[in-house]
Amino acid sequence: MKKIIFLISMVLTVINAKELKVTSKYFHYYMAKKQSVFKGEVNATKGKDNILSDELIIFFDKNKKPQKFIAMGNVKFIIALDKNATYKGNSEILIYQLHNGNITLKGNAKIIKLETNESVKGNKIILNRFTKNAEVTAGEKKPVEIIIKVNE
């Protein structure tokens, strides 16, 4: 019973006073590694943020706080950086590091800012949740593509 309560508390850890809810077809917790692994139609939601993927791994610290999320396979997401910046996109892999705010998208990555319809495409995109800085890297065969609104 203690293990079940511990597992549930790890998965439902509160981040910034909002509940993280994850659903999937399969779940496994690795106590020694402090990792939760979700597979099959994964849907992770926290506030307005939502990540859909084939697989999601959540890494915890010794205090049961999430440190990093890795979503893999058919990743689609909506992330609200603040009340004026909501991003929708997709990639093959999404890595979110909570300690520094970096959200890294790898493989056919695309982000659209919903408020302005501006977009960025590349092989790798790094978006920082705190600074809102972005860095985009091209793939071998595809250049970086950016669409922005220009005020004249």
**pLDDT tens, position by position, 54-105:** 999 999 998 888 899 999 999 999 998 888 889 999 999 999 999 999 999 9
**Percentage with pLDDT > 90 across the chain:** 53
Query: CATH classification of 2-147 is 1.10.260.40, yes or no?
Result: no
> Over 70: is that where the pLDDT of 19 sits?
yes
Model pTM score: 0.83
Position 92 scores a pLDDT of 97
Under 8 Å CB-to-CB from 67, ≥6 apart: which residues? 59, 60, 61, 97, 98, 99
**Percentage with pLDDT > 70 across the chain:** 89
Q: Locate 55 and state its tokens.
A: 């697989």
Nearest to residue 45, comparing CAs of 77, 3, 17?
A: 77
Q: Taking the CB of residue 91, how many other CB atoms lie within 10 A of it?
A: 26
> Over 70: is that where the pLDDT of 15 sits?
no
